[in-house]
Amino acid sequence: MGIVEAILLSVITAATPLVLAAIGELVTERSGVLNLGVEGMMIMGSVSAFAITQITGSPYLGMLAGIACGALFSQLFAFLTLSLVANQVATGLALTLLGIGVSGMMGESFLGMQGVKLQPIAIPLLADIPYIGPLLFRQDIIFYLSIAIVAGVHWFLFKSRAGLKLRAVGDSHASAHALGVNVIRTRYLAVMFGGACAGLAGAQLSLVYTPQWVENMSAGRGWIALALVVFSSWRPWRLVAGGYLFGAVSISQLHAQAFGLGIPSQLLSSLPYVATIVVLILISHNRRMTLINTPASLGKPFVPDR
């Protein structure tokens, strides 16, 4: 049971940044904006969190710095695509490249430093439940936040008036504008939320998953998060299931190497990305379901009537 518990704990740790980045992108895409810069926002959140933690000695301040950096970085994308009506795909790719380059420059002086890890928070009584307690109720604050954010996003999208407006903007921005909804402001806020979640996901990488700074440590997780949004059909709780599935795939290759199964390490390291491709292929066969849930205005520019 000790081995099983250790594996499950590592799966939770590996899945948390995927869930956070993907839930932020889900809200962004529900508003009709396609932001491919998730990877760039994650890596900027990661280096910012690590740097502020080293300077202040507080991983909680570092976590807040990661959220703020991701949100601010996302507003560059929002300004270019929403105010200047730049191409969303090209701008998102540029944002990722910019984030990777800037994070490498910012983090150069922190290479090789030992990080400060966010310590688990044990919830009284619940943490003492056999087997389940250590897995779910003795975790770091970012794990608890990830579950709370998913629950909050589900309520917001499907139970609140503001969520209905956001989905209306994503489905038909022209109709929403005609009804008096401020499309640009709604999308700015959605993009900011997505950036904050990506920044928090990056902070988890440098404060929990691997408490140190390594250049390009997001390692393609932003692209997996983008695939997760499609995999979940833009539904928050499906996204959680997909995130933990991909987390399990990521961790399985590490444990397979530890058990000495004789499988080439290069093949094992590619498993998360192979799984992403396979999932996208399977989704493409169910085109009807994809079209039903895809925001109709996704990726389309909006220019309000003057």
pLDDT tens, residue by residue, 147-189:
999 999 999 999 999 999 999 999 999 999 999 999 999 999 9
- Residue 126 pLDDT level (bands cut at 50, 70, 90): confident
Residue 246: what residue type? F
What pLDDT sits at residue 145?
96
Inter-CA distances, 173 with 92, 192, 257, Å: 21, 18, 49
Task: Please give the full DSSP string across 252-284, using - where no structure is assigned.
Answer: HHHHHHHTT----HHHHHTHHHHHHHHHHHHHH
Total domains present in the chain? 1
Tokens at residue 33, please?
Answer: 């904006």
Q: What is the CATH number of the domain that holds 262?
A: 1.10.3470
Domain-embedded: residue 241: yes
What pLDDT sits at residue 67?
97
Domain-embedded: residue 57: yes
CA dist 190 and 78 (Å) reads: 10
Q: How many other β-carbons are positioned within 10 Å of the β-carbon of residue 163?
A: 17
Domain-embedded: residue 300: no
Domain-embedded: residue 298: no
Domain-embedded: residue 87: yes
- Find tokens 């810069």 and name the residue: 37
- Residue 260 pLDDT level (bands cut at 50, 70, 90): low
What pLDDT sits at residue 155?
97
Domain-embedded: residue 134: yes
Domain-embedded: residue 302: no
What pLDDT sits at residue 258?
61
Domain-embedded: residue 299: no
Structural domain that includes position 56: 2-293
Looking at every residue in the chain, the average pLDDT score rounds to 89
Tokens at residue 104, please?
Answer: 């490498």
Residue percentage of the chain with pLDDT more than 70: 90
8 Å CB contact between 76 and 95: yes
- Find tokens 């990080």 and name the residue: 115
> Which range among 125-134, 180-189, 251-260, 275-284 shows the weakest confidence by mean pLDDT?
251-260
306 pLDDT higher than 60: no
Inter-CA distances, 187 with 24, 51, 83, 246, 305, Å: 13, 30, 11, 28, 17
Task: Please give the full DSSP string across the chain, using - where no structure is assigned.
Answer: -HHHHHHHHHHHHHHHHHHHHHHHHHHHHHTT-----HHHHHHHHHHHHHHHHHHHS-HHHHHHHHHHHHHHHHHHHHIIIIIS---HHHHHHHHHHHHHHHHHHHTGGGTTPPP-PPPPEEPTTGGGSTTHHHHHSEE-HHHHHHHHHHHHHHHHHHHSHHHHHHHHHHH-HHHHHHTT--HHHHHHHHHHHHHHHHHHHHHHIIIIISSS--TTTTTTHHHHHHHHHHHTTT-HHHHHHHHHHHHHHHHHHHHHHHTT----HHHHHTHHHHHHHHHHHHHHH-HHHHHHHS-TTTT-------
* pLDDT tens column, 35-86: 999 999 999 999 999 999 999 999 999 999 999 999 999 999 999 999 999 9
